[in-house]
Amino acid sequence: MPTTTGHAATPPAAPLHAAIIMDGNGRWAKKRALPRILGHRAGVQALRRTVEAAPDCGVGVLTVYGFSTENWRRPETEVSELMGLLKTFVDNDLEQLAREGVKVRILGRREGLKPDIVKIIERAESRTAENSRFLLQVAFNYGGQADIVDAARRFAEAVERGEARAADLDEGVLERGLSTAGVPHPDLIVRTSGERRLSNFLLWECAYAELIFQDVLWPDYGPEHLKAAVAEFNKRERRYGGTTVDDVYAAG
C-alpha cells in the first residue's frame, strides 16, 4: 500500500481517533428563546460529557472544533464569549482532566489570539504534557486550509535557509508541519446538527476518515450519541483506495 505518511493505510487500531464538529449551539439556544451564548455554554457541558464517555466508547483521541479561523466573522460579543469559554473550560476542568490522565493539545494558529488566551493554552498543554491515557485536541483559531498553508510556509522557509530542496517536499514533510503532526489521522469525523459539511476542519487529515452526520444539536450530545457514531463507523468498510479491507491489510 503506497503511502508516504504512514498514516493513511494504518489499520484502525483501537482506540479510535474521533473528531467532532460541535454544531448547533445557536439553534439549540434559539429553540429555547435563549441568547446564543447559553447554547455555547451548554455546548461546554456536552463536551465534558463526551470526553468522559469517550474511553468507554473505544475512543482514545478526541479532536473537537472549538473556534475556526472563520468564526472571527461573528459579532464581536460572540467572539469574546467563545474566547471566554476556552478560559472557563481550562479554569474549571483542567485539574480534573490532568488527574484523569488526559493530555490536552490545542491545534491552530496562536498568532491573532490575545496574550491571555495564549497563556491559557500554554498552561493547559504544559500541565497535561506528561499524560498519555487519553488525548483531547481542541482546534481553536484553526482552519484546515490555514494549517496546510502554515506547513507549506515552514517548508518554504527551510528551502530559503538552504536546509531543504523543493524536490524534498512530499506528504510526510508537509504532514510534519501541520499543527496535528504526530497524531494518527481521525478514523471518524462527526458533525452534529444535521449539517453535512466539513467547514474547513481537518482537510488534510480527513483523507480516509469516515464521515458521520448526526441530527442531534451539540448541546444535547452525550455518551449515547458517541456510542452510536462509533457503531456506525464499525459498520463501514474502509478500503484506503484498495479493494477490500483484507487486501489493504495484506499489503501492509
Closest approach of ligand FPP to the CB of residue 70, in Å: 9
Closest approach of ligand FPP to the CB of residue 205, in Å: 19
Closest to ligand FPP by CB, 43 vs 177, is 43
Q: Which member of 56, 71, 116, 150 is catalytic?
A: 71
Closest approach of ligand FPP to the CB of residue 149, in Å: 21
Q: How far is CA 161 from the centre of its chain?
A: 32
How far, in Å, CA of 50 to CA of 19, rounded?
11
Alpha helix stretches (DSSP H) within 32-114:
36-53, 76-99
Closest approach of ligand FPP to the CB of residue 159, in Å: 35
Closest approach of ligand FPP to the CB of residue 97, in Å: 11
Q: Shortest Cβ contact with ligand FPP: which residue?
A: 26
Q: Which residues bind ligand FPP (CB under 6 A)?
A: 22-27, 40, 43-44, 47, 66, 71, 82, 85-86, 89, 138, 140, 193, 218
How far, in Å, CA of 90 to CA of 138, rounded?
11
Does 71 participate in catalysis according to the annotation?
yes
Find where cell 472544533 sits: 65
8 Å CB contact between 186 and 15: no
User: Closest Cα partner for 96 from 63, 64, 66, 124?
Assistant: 124
User: Closest Cα partner for 187 from 217, 212, 170?
Assistant: 212
Cα Rg of the chain, angstroms: 19
Distances (CA, A) of 13 to 10, 18, 160, 243: 8, 13, 39, 20
Does 116 participate in catalysis according to the annotation?
no
- Catalytic annotation, residues: 23, 71
